[in-house]
Amino acid sequence: MATRSTWKDRWVCVGGGTAGFGLVLARQFARRGANVAIIGRDGLRAEAAAEELRKNTSGEIIAFSVDLADEASVSSSSWKAWLAQTNLSVAIAAAGKSDRGFLMQLSSDEIDKLVRTNVYTSFHFSKATVDALQRDSGTLVHLASLAGIVASPGMGGYSIAKHALVAMSRQLRLELAMQGIRVLLVCPGPIQREETTASGRYDALVQERALPASLKQPAGGGNLKALDPEHLAEKIIAAIESRKKELILPAKVKWLAGLGTIWPSLTDYVLKMRGDE
């Protein structure tokens, strides 16, 4: 059975770990004594996050400023040089951005930005960390979303991007197994946010695109309780330790995703109810 000492002196790298749920994951590993590398586009925010973690851990905490959406930024970064001499136990691709809107309202540029933020970041992160992970037979974690396994109305280009991320993760799981690397795909529902960051998060998009007010809510107004971030982080670490391949929360959504292939008209009815509000 895994214990907190399991992570002592082992390196964990979190892409998109400067704020939000990425920072929660970094904090949980730091509490377990792991060495943690935080990757963020904004160098000041990355260092501030690292400083926070240093206050409550015996492990080493470092920060790197890298734009994961830009392959050139990754290739030329000091992070890439650091990876060349590091054994990684876990690499977590946590960068991403949500959206609201109906697809026919969107331009291809808007969809492209969401794909870059949600897919390219994870692809570049995965490609950069694979050699360091192989040296420690480590685990690559992709943080996707329920929107990546069930498409629902009003989610803008987010579901397109997350479906692509899910496909990428599942393909890498098969390909990287030959190199001794495990891949964990995580598809959570809405995650609780601090009131200051949750309030009004989608107000501008809903107003600009004349969307139903229900789309301001977590999961676009779907009947899903927001997940506690600390509990979710613990679930992810437990899934890594038990070598799970996929973690979908809440689990009931697995049935809806499966139903979509067997009885699509019923699935459409369940999901459409939210879009009609």
Reading phi first (left if > 0) and then psi (alpha if -120 to 50, else beta), residue 156 is in left
Under 8 Å between Cβ of 86 and 131: no
Coil vs helix vs strand at 138: coil
Question: Above 60 in pLDDT, residue 4?
Answer: no
What digits encode the pLDDT tens for the residues 224-239? Answer: 788 999 999 999 999 9
- What local confidence, expressed as pLDDT, does residue 222 receive? 66
Structural domains in the chain, CATH included, are 4-275 (3.40.50.720)
Confidence band for 115, pLDDT divided at 50, 70 and 90: very high
Question: Above 60 in pLDDT, residue 164?
Answer: yes
The pTM of this model reads 0.89
Give strand ranges (E) for the chain.
Answer: 11-15, 35-40, 61-65, 88-93, 139-143, 182-188, 246-249
As a whole number, mean pLDDT of residues 58-86 equals: 97
